[in-house]
Structures are given as C-alpha cells and as structure tokens.
Structure 1
Amino acid sequence: MNIVFIINDPYANNIETLYAELSAEPENIITVVVCDRVGHSFSPAVPALEIAAVLADKGIPHIIYCADFDIEALKPDYIFTSNPYDIYIDDKLSSDKLSAIGRLIHVSYGAALIHWSGDYRVLAENPYLERASMVFTESAQLYRDRINFIPVGYLKLDSYAYYGRQFTRFDRKAIAWKPRWTGADRVNFISYAQSLFDVVKKNNLILNLIAHPLLFVSLSQEEGMEEGINLLNLMKNDECVRFVLGADFLDDVLGSDILVSDISSTMAEFMFTEKPVIFTGGMADLNKVGEAVMSACYKISDGDALKKKIESLLEGKDPLMSNRRGVYNWLFDGHEKVSVATRIKNILKDGLGD
C-alpha cells in the first residue's frame, strides 16, 4: 500500500500505533507530511516545526510541506489527514483536492457525546466528511446513518490498551480537571476552580489541569473575570497544580484517580480506567455514547457539591463503581487481542481490492 499521512496538529497519539503497524510491513510505502495548522481567533495556529518536533520525539520520519511539494506525484492509494476541517489547512491541501488524488481517510480523534444538532449542526454539514472514502470512528453506536463511517475502536488509546504504554504514576492522589471555559461557562469555571483548589490544598492532592492554549486569553476577554485570572496565576505557582499540555497529556489524565469534567470526549476516554468521573456541566443533547458515559458519572451543580463528592470518593464511597465496569469495552469495540491499528490496516488492505 502507498499511504500519505498529512499532519497539521501535534497530537501524534492518533497515528502512532497505526504508523508502526503499517511501516512494519516492508511492502508498504508510508510518507508523513507535516504542515502548518492555520489559526483563527477561536483556535490557535500551530507551526509545522512544532508538530515536526513531536513526531521526531516519537521516532516517526517525516517531511515538512512546502508550496511546491507535489503529493500527486507520490501516487498514494490512501491519504490520511489528522484534521477533518479544511479551514485549518493550506488550501492546496483541502479535501476537494486531496480526494481527487487518492482515497481520503480520517480517524476520529475523540468520541462525540452529543448529537450534531443546534450549534453543532455545522459538524454534520462538513463537506470533508462527504468527500472522505472512510472515516474511522470509535463506536458502532455513532453515525449509523453514514455509510462511509466505519467503527473500529479508540485508536487514541491504542498504545495503552494493546502496546503496553503506561499512565503517569503520581506520588499521591491526583485529580484531572477538564474545564469548559467559553461563553456562559466562564462563570462556572471560577466557582469550580476555587473549590478544586481548596480541596486539593486541604487533602494534599495533585490537580492536573488540562489547560487549553486559549484559556487565559478567553478569560481576559470577558469583563469581570479578574478573579478567575488571579486564581489561575495563583494555581500556576502552586506545587500541587500541574498544567497539562502537549501531545502526551493523556498519560497524566489517565494516571489520575478522579476526572472532573464538563462535556468532553475525555470523559469517554477516562472510562478506560474505570475510575470515577464527576460531571460539572449542564444540559446536553446526548447521543447513545453520551448517555452510556453519563450513566456512569457523578453529576454535581456547584462548587460545594464538588468538594463534598471528591472527599467522599477519597473515603472510598463510590456507589457508581459497578456502573463503570465494562462501559468502555462495550462502547468502543474492545477486542481481547487485535489492536485498533491492526483492524484499520486490515480494512485498508481489503479496500484495495474494491
């Protein structure tokens, strides 16, 4: 097989095991092309050199895209892109152009917990998804009406489930926090941040704050957020708080003892550990995956309730423990022996005969 990967984000954990499986077969020709992620006011740019550094650290050979680079000359059977949105990539690498060169492929980076409706309808109408020959997804419970969507399991967690990668081991109990900090949720952010900081200090815990690059920028643009910014600065200088960034953030997240999160695919990923999840969000139009995940989560609505729930869990009071058992494997097509990367490789081989 002749395969081109076009990478324009730094999260190599979604191709690492797949690249290893494909490149292990000498008859396969694998080319990894790194390009800039185009930035917008709502999502920062990422230079190709930064992404290339991540791939180099993973031992993945690559080339950096330039304007005169001719992908068509490679004559690829398949073209994988790390991002399914044309707005984040050079126009010369847009999905309409790539799909005319080879079979366009994408692997989902995180399980959707909500329906593509309302404000999220734009996701369903993304033209990339119509042009793609195959979109590999995490669960058979998702996108059943789309014939080019193929459930294979959670490639993002493949290295932990099948290749022996270990979570971070902390020297004391740790809480991972994935806050939502946009729009009206900025107010809740302050409430939960203070409560988490208080309970972490009181119980000598570690707080792994999964920090979006635009976190400080977003808060600074909203009036009345000085308290939140001051609190974040205080947390940044405290030895109990770790700001988790970068391509390997899941090492720290999955190594934590409790996840506190608003609606996020990280909630589904944490189900792999079968450890407690506390949901701090409001109403959401949940799909089947979201409903299953939420049924195994504790739901709280204010900072005081969050503190009480964390301290209760630290005491070993965990009535939802049995709800979490088996949820991940049921939702995400867990297989005892065959990795997700191997499943994808086999589908690609079969596809060449079509």
Structure 2
Amino acid sequence: MNRVMILLRKINQFVRLIHARLIIRASNLFDKEYYLANNPDVALSKIDPLNHYIQFGGTEGSDPGPYFSSAWYLTSYEDVKNSGINPLVHYLRFGKKEKRGIKPAEGLDQLALIRSSGLFDEEFYLANNPDVAQAQIDPLVHYFYYDGFEGRDPNANFSIKDYLIINEESRNSGLNPLVHYLIYEKNKKRVLRSYILLRMLNFLRKKSGYDLGEVYDNITSFADFFMRLLYARLYQKESFSLPKQIKKQYTRVPLYFNLRRIIRKARLGKIPIRIVFVAQDTGTWKIMESLYEACKSDTLFKTFVVNTTFEWLNGPEESSEYFKKKNIDFLDAVHGSVQLDLLNPDIIVVASPYDELRPWQFRTANLLRYARIVYIPYGISHADIGQKYPKREFGNDPQKNAWRIFDRSLKTKNAFIKFARIPSRCFVALGTPLIDQYYSSSVSDVLPYKVQSASSKKFKIIYTPHHTIESWSTFLRYGKQIRQLVEENEDIFLFFRPHPGLVGKLEASNLMSSEEFRSFFSGNRCFLYEGDNYQGLFHWADLLISDASSFLGEFAPTKKPIIFLNREDVCGTLDDTIREEIYGSCYVANSEEQITNFVQQLMKGDDPLAGLREHYQEQINVGMFTGGAGKRIAEYIHDQLG
C-alpha cells in the first residue's frame, strides 16, 4: 500500500512539473541563458535549468529572466510565499486573473528598452508637451520618470490612458506603462488583443464625442469605459423629448445599476462602487462621516463629497469651511456646479428627509435620474402617535424612494412599513453612524480651556430644546425655569445647545429676537454652544435635559442620566419605536417641580435608573455601546454590489 502511495505521489509531482514547464514556456518569461548566467551552481550541476527554477529557484527568489522578479512577487504577496508555490507558476495560473502586479528583475535598463523600441516619438512628445520643451530636459528621461505615469502619450498611435484601462496589471505593477507593454505585451499573443482594444477605445472616443467624466475619476477598465458610454448616451444627447428621456432614465438607471453589479460579481472588469455623499451642512455631514471614512479606506469604493446647502429659516448653511479644516476633498455645488451624470454614481447618500430644504438639483426626483438613493436618518427617528400620518418622520420622498434605509433598529423598520408602506427589503438595521461621532470626539474639540476650567468642578447639565415651538419644544415652557435653577445653585454649570432651527422659529413667530435669544442663556455658569461638534460635550456633561431632540438617543452611549421633558398636552406620547426605551431609561418630567426634584436628586448621586438604563438604551440603536455603524454599512454595500 505504501509503495502505491509513493508511486502515485511521484506521478502527481511529474504531472505538475510538466504542466509548469508548459505554461512557463508559453509565457516567454523564462530565459535559459539569463538563468544560468545568474545561477552558476546550476550550470555546474548540469541540472535542467527550467526544472531547477520550478522546483527550487523560484521559491528561493531566483529570477527566471529579466522580466520577472521572483523575490518581489514573493515579498509582495505573502499568501504565495506561505503556499510554497513557485511564484511564476502562481502568477501564470492565478495571479494574472487576480490582476496581481509583477516587476522585472533588478538591473534591467528600462530607458534603453524604450529607446530601442522605436515607440517614443521625441518630436510628437515635445510638440504636445511644451512644458517639457521649455524645461530643456531630455524628453525621454522626463517621460520615463514622470509623464508616463501622468498619462501623456509617447507617440500619436499609443494612448497611455487607454492602455491602463485594458491592462489592470499594468496599473498595479508600478512600471511605466510603455515599459510594461514592451516587456509583457509586445512579444506575446496578447498584443493583438491589446491592439484591437486600443483601436476600439480610440474609435469610440472620437465617434461618440461624449464626456465620460474623466475630470472627476479615471476610467479603470474596458467594462468601466463601456458603462460610462451607456450613461453618457443617456444624458448627453443634443436633442431629445423630455418625457421620453425622463422615462428612459427611470428605467435604465436601475438596469445599469444591476448590470454593473453583475460585472463586479462575475469579475468581468473592474468598476469601482461610486458613492456620492450629499452634504448640506456640518450637521448632516456628521451623520454620514463615519460611513464616508469606511468607504474611503476600501479600495473597491470611489467616493465623492458634494457640498450643497441646508435651507434653514435663519438662512442657508453649508460645510465648505469644515471640509477645508478636515482636509476632505469635495465638489462645491454652492459656489459652482456639479454634473451628477459625469460622476457615474451607483449610490447617492442623503441624510435629511426634507426635500424642500435642499436645492432642486439634489431633491429626490432629480437624484433618481442618476443613481439609487441611500437614506440615513438625520437623528434618532421617532414620531408622535397622535398624528394620523407622521410623514415628516417616516414618509418623506427620500425614504419612500430609497434603495436602502440604514436605521438604528428593527423597531423603526416596522414604523417605515406601517406609515410609509416601504418594502421590508429596503430597510437594514445596522445602527446609525451618528453614534460613531461620540466615539471619535473629545471635549477639547468643543470647549475652550477657560470654559472647561470654570465648569470642571460643577454639576454639568446640557439642555437641548427642540425647534418645534408649536408642539414638542419645551423652551417657552421650561427655559426660564432651567436658567433660574442654574442661577440659584452655584454647583451647576449649564451648557445650552438648542436645535439649529429654534432661533429662526422664535424670530418668525415674533416671540424672541436673535439677540434676546443669545443673551437669555449667557452669563454666569452658562455656555451657549451652537456648533455641530456637540458630541464632545457628552464626554464632559453629567446630565442631559431634552424634549423631542435626537439627543435622547445620541447621549445614550455615555450611560449618564437623562431627564425627558414630556408634553402630553400637545403631542400625546412617543411612538412605539422608542417609547418603551425612553420611558424606561429616562426621568420623565411633566412639570417644573419634577425637573427641580430630579436635578437635586441626581446631584446627590441618587440615580435609581442606573441599573436599567443600559438595558433599555442598547435597544435604541444597534451597536449603541460599541459604535462602528459606518463600517457595518460600508461592508453591507460592498457585499451587495462588489
């Protein structure tokens, strides 16, 4: 039995050796003279050099010829090194299909290779690159070290940009594209394929005359070029019937969306998942920021941030200064224009449900003409069950037309289905990325040192009244009493962080001017904070007092006490997506006396809800006490479309 097994093993090894010899010979990457010259011990041993390379030399880092570095391939791909497979055999069998890069052996004179090829036309190059002519640099040297990677062409018949589209391994190799062509394409059968594709791309570019959006993003493959061409035909026709064109866009955009997904799944070509984040102001941006960061770190995604406005009552707001401060690249639709069709998006992410507060270009009906919509709730979604149809929370156009809604828990899924008739497949409960902001913020991001010092030994309260003065907001009812409570107790320091729309509502209703509003909570042991980086305050505060604001959920990761200011006289009660959690984890106050009593009780350290609070609060949001919602959403999109 053992002899049979040994014989079978030897036969298997022999078959593998023959197969390896065949594919290496067909590749033209093994040079017998080169191998013997660089491995004199093999020449002395009189072993067949190709057999030696396959069985020993490749895994030891010896190069089979001048155009393949075994050592580089093994160093770059640890899985190959650990597998024990010959590096060139692995590349020819698997690596080429997987678009893995390769490099030539050390010592190859690549400049001489280009010069002897006859493919570098110095006159053409200088005529089309006057900056090189003015610099008085050897044009070939300049092309080799710089311009080849920038996409400048070496002659009239060779397009570097198109070559990189059809040869992904060239992009991964780090070689000058013309060098890659001369080493790995010119003397192989694939040269015919490369030539045909290059001519086809050149013909289609000239014939169509379409703008393929390369000013925003480079084309990554022939499949990507083909899909961009389809989109360009849809949007860039010189004359068309508007009704027919809209109909085409509403039918073909979903078709192209699924076609790109099939191409990725079947690995027929590299097409990035292009995601456009519509940022209206800093507040809406922070809802999406952790998702953006997760997508940015994934090579399958190509992200675009479009800066537009949030049309508040007190004037439009936008995020350009924040983006500049954080070094986030963005397309500015506030001070310029952005052509969404040229971005070729798969998905457009919005975080505000209110279309009327967006410029027309970024309203749902228009966005659907270009891509599928992903909606991320701008806060901790909840509604008033006294309303017959809480459309403002669970039935807006972005929600009803979303490809996916990523929300905090399965409880809100039931509300979307009940109130807006949104299909259950469109809802995914992975937590809200807004919670991630708490885990990436600190008090130093928000408060000047002077305020930190003044409040450090005090009992710190955050008061966050909502803007709906006609219903939820408790500002007009309890604002003065809370301010008086601070004045009467020197051990309290108040951080007043109103909803951004509150002052506009008060002014529009002639109840309070902007100056009166800001002076109301200024003075001794009180700090008015109107910024959007409020999560840093959560680390510093001891207590939150709030009404209908989403802070009821956002403050939960701190595990600190919350006083919920209830107004059953106007609104009834909270809906069942959050009612049990709020009433179970918060101190519910219905009067001034109850507010005072709860504050005094908590200042003494008497917190009877401490044991139950975490149990109820972790049900509000998936990953409430760990964060990571942005990463989970990015992984979901990757799995669905990648």
TM superposition score normalised by structure 1:
0.86
The 1-side partners of 2:592 and 2:351 are apart by: 37
* Corresponding letter in the other structure for 1:124: F
Superposed CA deviations along residues 97-144 of structure 1, whole A, max 9, x for unmatched, are 212211211211212233574373344332222221111101121123
Q: Match for 1:143 among 413, 422, 429? A: 413
The 1-side partners of 2:545 and 2:592 are apart by: 12
The 2-side partners of 1:183 and 1:250 are apart by: 24
Q: Match for 2:401 among 115, 131, 137? A: 131
Residues 1:59 and 1:290: Cα distance change in structure 2 (over 3 Å):
farther
Quote the offset at 1:232 in angstroms.
Answer: 5.9
Contact 2:349 2:374 in 1 (8 A): yes
Quote the offset at 1:186 in angstroms.
Answer: 9.5
Name the structure 2 match of 1:17: 290
Quote the offset at 1:178 in angstroms.
Answer: 1.4
User: How many aligned positions are there?
Assistant: 344
Superposed CA deviations along residues 55-106 of structure 1, whole A, max 9, x for unmatched, are 2223321120166521111111111123232212221222122122112112
Name the structure 2 match of 1:152: 430
Q: How does 1:216-255 map to 2 (within 5 A)?
A: 216-220=503-507, 222=509, 233-236=519-522, 238-255=523-540
Q: Match for 1:271 among 533, 552, 556? A: 556
TM superposition score normalised by structure 2:
0.49
* Corresponding letter in the other structure for 1:54: Y
Residues 1:247 and 1:305: Cα distance change in structure 2 (over 3 Å):
same
Residues 1:79 and 1:176: Cα distance change in structure 2 (over 3 Å):
same
Superposed CA deviations along residues 16-48 of structure 1, whole A, max 9, x for unmatched, are 222221112344211111012234xxx443244
- Answer yes or no: is 1:175 the counterpart of 2:461: yes
Q: How does 1:81-120 map to 2 (within 5 A)?
A: 81-115=350-384, 117-118=387-388, 120=390
Percent sequence identity over aligned pairs = 20
**Secondary structure of 2:411's partner?**
coil
**Secondary structure of 1:46's partner?**
strand
Quote the offset at 1:310 in angstroms.
Answer: 0.4
Q: Which has the higher contact order (CA 8 A, sep 6+)?
A: 1
Q: How does 1:202-221 map to 2 (within 5 A)?
A: 202-220=489-507
Residues 1:126 and 1:214: Cα distance change in structure 2 (over 3 Å):
closer
The 2-side partners of 1:16 and 1:182 are apart by: 27
Could you tell me which runs of 5 or more consecutive residues in structure 1 were left unpaired when the two chains were aligned.
Answer: none
Superposed CA deviations along residues 321-351 of structure 1, whole A, max 9, x for unmatched, are 1120233323312288771111111111122
Quote the offset at 1:188 in angstroms.
Answer: 5.2
Could you tell me which runs of 5 or more consecutive residues in structure 2 were left unpaired when the two chains were aligned.
Answer: 1-272, 445-451
Residues 1:89 and 1:271: Cα distance change in structure 2 (over 3 Å):
same
Stretch deviating more after TM superposition (244-253 or 306-315)? 244-253
* Corresponding letter in the other structure for 2:369: A
Name the structure 1 match of 2:588: 299
Name the structure 2 match of 1:346: 635
Q: CA RMSD in A?
A: 2.9
Largest Rg, 1 or 2: 2
Contact 2:556 2:624 in 1 (8 A): no
Contact 2:383 2:393 in 1 (8 A): no
- Which portions of structure 1, spanning 4 or more consecutive aligned residues, are displaced by more than 4 angstroms? 167-170, 184-188, 220-223, 225-232, 335-338
**Secondary structure of 2:442's partner?**
coil
Which structure dedicates a bigger proportion of its chain to strand? 1
Q: How does 1:283-294 map to 2 (within 5 A)?
A: 283=568, 284-294=573-583
Q: How does 1:21-32 map to 2 (within 5 A)?
A: 21-32=294-305
The 2-side partners of 1:346 and 1:133 are apart by: 16
* Corresponding letter in the other structure for 2:564: F
Name the structure 1 match of 2:442: 166
